[in-house]
């Protein structure tokens, strides 16, 4: 559950930035869950400031340890705001993909010998916090490649 560890390591400002990026028409990506937790009607949740809703959403994800939803949230954020980071990682480590989408995770694994140089290139080009976020996802995705998790843990 690397994405849950990464979530817990994120400061509130970074999580809020992710939440705000994924907001549409005044609604945050997890506002439905926040509304349920607060016993609000879905429309009424907009009365709370987005900052407060994102704080509550982070707390809900941490308390439930919902790795699948956390992975989806992080993935949606990176694909919508920083897709090139994902494709550059995949290209740099030799993973076959189609616009960042991988068909077969078992057959397409990152080359451990290319991790260090790829991460160095990514850190120079993108926000290191987002690179670390993606590495948490990669560690979860490729649990059978211990070098990926080791690289993420070193960054965490």
Distance of CA 141 to the CA centre of its chain: 12
Sorted by sequence, the CB contacts under 8 Å of residue 20 that are 6+ apart come out as 28, 50, 54
Q: Is 93 helix (H, G, I), strand (E, B) or coil?
A: coil
Length of the chain: 156
- Pair of tokens at residue 128: 């290191």
pTM above 0.85, yes or no: yes
Q: Dihedral of CA 44/46/48/52: which sign?
A: positive
Which residue has tokens 């907001």? Answer: 23
> For each of the chain's 156 residues, which pLDDT tens digit applies?
899 999 999 999 999 999 999 999 989 999 999 999 999 998 899 999 999 999 999 999 999 999 999 999 999 999 999 999 999 999 999 999 999 999 888 889 999 999 999 999 999 999 999 999 999 999 999 999 999 999 999 998
Q: Does residue 85 contact residue 134 with C-beta atoms inside 8 Å?
A: yes
25 phi-psi bin (left φ>0, alpha ψ -120 to 50, beta other): left
């Amino acid at each position: 559950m690397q994405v849950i560890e990464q979530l817990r390591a994120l400061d509130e400002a970074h999580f809020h930035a992710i939440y705000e990026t994924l907001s549409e028409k005044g609604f945050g990506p997890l506002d439905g869950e926040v509304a349920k937790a607060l016993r609000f009607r879905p429309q009424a949740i907009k009365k709370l400031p987005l900052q407060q809703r994102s704080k509550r959403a982070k707390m809900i994800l941490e308390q439930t340890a919902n790795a699948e939803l956390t992975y989806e949230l992080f993935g949606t954020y990176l694909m919508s705001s920083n897709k090139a980071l994902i494709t550059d990682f995949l290209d740099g480590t030799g993973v076959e993909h189609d616009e960042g989408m991988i068909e077969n995770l078992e057959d397409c694994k990152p080359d451990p010998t290319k991790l260090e140089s790829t991460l160095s290139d990514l850190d120079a080009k993108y926000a290191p916090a987002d690179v670390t976020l993606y590495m948490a996802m990669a560690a979860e995705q490729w649990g059978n490649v211990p070098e990926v998790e080791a690289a993420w843990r070193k960054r965490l």
